[in-house]
Amino acid sequence: MKNIKIIISTSVLVIVFFISAMFLFGLTKNQSVSVQYYYFHEQYPLKVTIQSEDSLTQICRQDDVFKVNEFENVPINQIFCSEIFRLMKQLEIKGVFKPDHDLQGYGLSEPRVRIKADFDDHSLVLRIGNITPDGTACYCLEEGKKEIGLIPAAKIDPFFREHFRYANLNLIPYMAKVSDENGNLMKGKIKKCVIKRRDLASPIELIADQNGKLKTSGSEKFKIPEETMFQLENGLPLLTASSIYTPHLSDEIIELCGMRNPQAEVTYVIDDKTYSFKIGCVSNLPKTSQPGGGHAAENKNFIYRSYYVMMDGIPAIYTAAESSLPWLGMRFK
């Protein structure tokens, strides 16, 4: 009798689990989910193409260096690209079933994202559809097959990244790749800083003394406020763009973005390398409800203002939030 109760209890638990699984994954009584499986590839893909309703991103890999369409002449976020290729090398599919109705119900007839990975000897094309009712996975379909798969939502998130984020938005590599005795990254040594600004009668030039302290140069000597000195020495890590406005320069765009008569021109000599950039006019992109993305954004309490920025040697215009540009408001007297 005791064994019968155990068998009945176990059977009930299995039935409850199966019904719960059907509810969570949005399946009907005519569908069943197989065990999870993976696509394994011995090599990384040569190219990955991510197509959504709004953008097309093509990432190519050559000798462990990634290139992205439209961004051929600007620095690329190699970490984001590497993540995409790593995900495609080992693609996890959790559960496969045959649909009992058309693909539209799963968001696969017009997928949110279409991913194509080109390998040496074959290509893999995946459609990514709706999120499952429990929010833990997305429906997917490999083109050429009839079964629908379930991919964990966390594995899919990077494929919904906006195209401009594949450009490297960290405009100055201020932190040197060296560490002190405690393993902390060390800052490069600022040898010189020059700031030209519309509201300043003449450029401000500062040169590091023997102790590495920035001092004003020239005939006019004055004490720099502590707040400004802190910004001068620590402002460069803040120079992160919100977006890339355009990776293609023209005379019209340079004029439009205020680079002919910029708000400010800033030059730093760090160790033995020179970094220069111009801060143009206020970005005239549409307002959004959240900061970032290169837009001047507004909410109930704050207004997020952004400016166009152009780095010397990079043929592109970026947008950066005002909070990333302390040189605009630095006080020198």
For the chain, domains (ranges, CATH) are: 23-166 (3.30.1490), 175-328 (no CATH)
Give the tens place of pLDDT for each residue, 166-198.
Answer: 999 988 864 444 445 555 544 568 889 999 999
Cα diameter, the chain: 102
pTM of the model: 0.74
Please state, in angstroms and rounded to a whole number, the distance separating the CA atoms of residues 305 and 291. 9
pLDDT-derived band at 10 (thresholds 50, 70, 90) equals very low
Are the CB atoms for 191 and 270 separated by under 8 Å? Answer: yes
Q: Is the pLDDT of residue 24 over 60?
A: no
Span 261-288, mean pLDDT? 84
Give the tens place of pLDDT for each residue, 103-131.
Answer: 888 889 899 999 999 988 888 899 999 99
Q: Which residues contact 134 (CB under 8 A, 6 or more apart)?
A: 24, 25
The pLDDT of residue 39 is 60
Span 68-96, mean pLDDT? 89
The pLDDT of residue 93 is 80
Q: Is the pLDDT of residue 139 over 70?
A: yes
Angstrom CA distances, 229 to 93, 263, 323, stand at: 54, 20, 17
The pLDDT of residue 112 is 92
Per DSSP, the residues of 173-200 read: --EEEEE-TTSPEEEPPEEEEEEEETTS
Least Cα distance to 324 among 307, 311, 310 occurs for 307
Query: Which has more confidence, 1 or 90?
Result: 90
Angstrom CA distances, 282 to 44, 262, 265, 293, stand at: 42, 10, 15, 14
The pLDDT of residue 176 is 42
Please state, in angstroms and rounded to a whole number, the distance separating the CA atoms of residues 317 and 325. 15
The secondary structure of 119-177, three-state, reads: CCCCEEEEEEEEECCCCCEEEEEECCCCCEEEEEHHHHHHHHCCHHHHECCECCCCEEE
- Collapse the DSSP code of 281 into the 3-class scheme (helix H, G, I; strand E, B; otherwise coil) and give the result: strand
Report percent pLDDT > 90 for the chain: 37
Give the tens place of pLDDT for each residue, 214-272.
Answer: 888 765 666 778 888 888 877 777 788 999 999 999 999 999 999 999 999 999 998 88
Query: Which has more confidence, 283 or 304?
Result: 283
